[in-house]
A and B are shown apart, each in its own frame.
Chain A
Amino acid sequence: MMDTWLILSLAVLSLSILGCMYRLLKGPSISDRIAALDTIGIVLLAMITIVCAWLRTTTYMDIVLLIGILTFIGTIAFARYLERGEVL
């Protein structure tokens, strides 16, 4: 019965990823895209957590953290690149 909730949540989250994709592709400013990308990352992180709960395994938990880290670093990198034209 938990599975029903989880799959329902997954479906809702997929919808929100679609929404983010719209903003990602639409823009218009680069900051918009970065924000969208950031959101995608975080939602993805949530999705994988739910998948873990659904599969009843912690095997993919590393990915959760990984996505968190990558999203963070990615967003910072893009923002800095946008602001200064360089990352480092």
Chain B
Amino acid sequence: METIQAFGEHALGLFILIGAIICAISTFGLIRLPDVYLRSHAATKSATLGVLIILSGSFFYFMFYLDHISAKILLGIVFVFLTSPVAGHLNGRAAYRTGVPLWKESVQDELKQVREHIREDA
């Protein structure tokens, strides 16, 4: 029983560490990638994944080892799930609308013509 418990703890610890590492890698992307849209991919979403992993790891740790079902962590997970895409969407849109250019090696931009079209109409 104790071995299982110890193993479980190690597993959870590793799980959490993996989450942290995913976060770290995404941050690396945040530094490395060339334009704001790409960075957005890396950062926001990959980080989200990492954080979700960490949160669930902690949740299970609390549940199994501290005998506490933390509704707040669950709520946190739901909230992050719910909100981070919206944040990413709005930020990307704002970037695009304020004229932040795409990376020079981007291959296509179908939004550009549409917006110009709308502008002419307006």
Contacts and interface: CB of A to CB of B under 8 A. Distances in A.
Contact of A68 (B20, B43, B50, B83): B83
Given A23-B30, A35-B36, A39-B27, A75 B91 contact: yes
A5 B86 CA distance: 32
A9 B17 contact: yes
Given A4-B13, A15-B27, A61-B72, A35 B40 contact: yes
Interface in B40-97: 40, 43-44, 47-48, 50-51, 54-55, 58, 61-62, 65-66, 68, 70, 72-73, 75-76, 79-80, 83-84, 86-88, 90-95, 97
A32 to B, nearest CB: 5
A72 B98 CA distance: 20
Nearest to B16: A9
Contacts of B76: 45, 49, 64-65, 68
Interface string A24-52: 00000111101110110011011001101
Given A16-B26, A34-B94, 4 more contacts: A15-B24, A17-B27, A34-B91, A68-B79
Counting chain A residues whose Cβ lies within 8 A of the other chain, the interface size class is 35 or more
Given A12-B17, A61-B72, A62-B72, A46 B30 contact: no
21 contacts: A1-B9, A2-B12, A2-B65, A5-B10, A6-B13, A19-B24, A19-B27, A22-B31, A29-B95, A31-B40, A34-B94, A35-B43, A39-B47, A50-B16, A58-B62, A58-B68, A62-B72, A78-B94, A79-B94, A82-B95, A83-B90
